[in-house]
Structure 1
């Protein structure tokens, strides 16, 4: 997957999360969970985009670790949505799976970047 494709994928993840949150219950739990989920999902795409402007390998690793944390946080919030039964359905399951995939992608990217740093 190219950098551009991954940028588009992370942006699509954010947009899809926004749409998912539109159907959350209109109560304190729904609003707060949606707020947290939208922020973490948005941070995945925004911070991944920022990795393209890394000034060094160390800066890239720092930025990719933020992306990894935010992808994992998004996965956490999606699990909370399911367990709290704020929503159900195939779209929730698809986005939970996507958050898990993105976490795996960025964990592998982090590991490779650190290996390349140590190899030099």
Structure 2
């Protein structure tokens, strides 16, 4: 299987989320919200990887749809961490842009897969 932009971007995003998690736990002593961000932010890429070996087109769509939900949840945790001053605007802005880009890419991939599914039946 060739390289996937979605796969690469989601992995890079997960690395950044892990680093923010480490910062929040170490410097900010925040242990609850940061763990939620870690879970949802790293799940995106894991689900995209799972989709690469989906058993069917429907399974592929399902896994990407769950990744889409995790990305949306990640936006929530980033917004909450910003609103509660655990992250500064500068700290959250780039992550926020990246996860919104992932959301757009996932939405596009899901639509394409659904269209492929409907035209092949």
Residue 107 of structure 1 and its aligned partner are, at CA, apart by 1.0
Show the counterpart of 1:108. Answer: 108
Aligned to 2:72: 72
RMSD across aligned positions (CA): 1.4
Inter-partner Cα distance in structure 2 for 1:82 and 1:109: 29
CA contact (8 A) 1:20 1:92 kept: no
Count of equivalent residues: 116
TM-score by length of 1: 0.89
Q: Deviations over 1:2-33 (max 9, x none)?
A: 7433222211111111111222221xxx2111
User: 2:46 matched to which residue of 1?
Assistant: 46
Deviations 1:65-112 (A, max 9, x none): 111111111111111111111110423110011111101110111111
Gaps of 5+ in 2: none
What is the distance in 2 between the residues matched to 1:91 and 1:84?
13
TM-score, normalising length: structure 2? 0.88
Tell me, what secondary structure is at the counterpart of 2:31?
A: helix
Q: Which runs of 5+ in 1 are unaligned?
A: none
- Deviations along 1:31-82, one digit per CA (max 9) or x if unpaired, are 1111000000110011101111011111111111111111111111111111
Q: Residues 35 and 9 of structure 1: is their aligned pair in 2 closer, same or farther, counting only changes over 3 Å? A: same
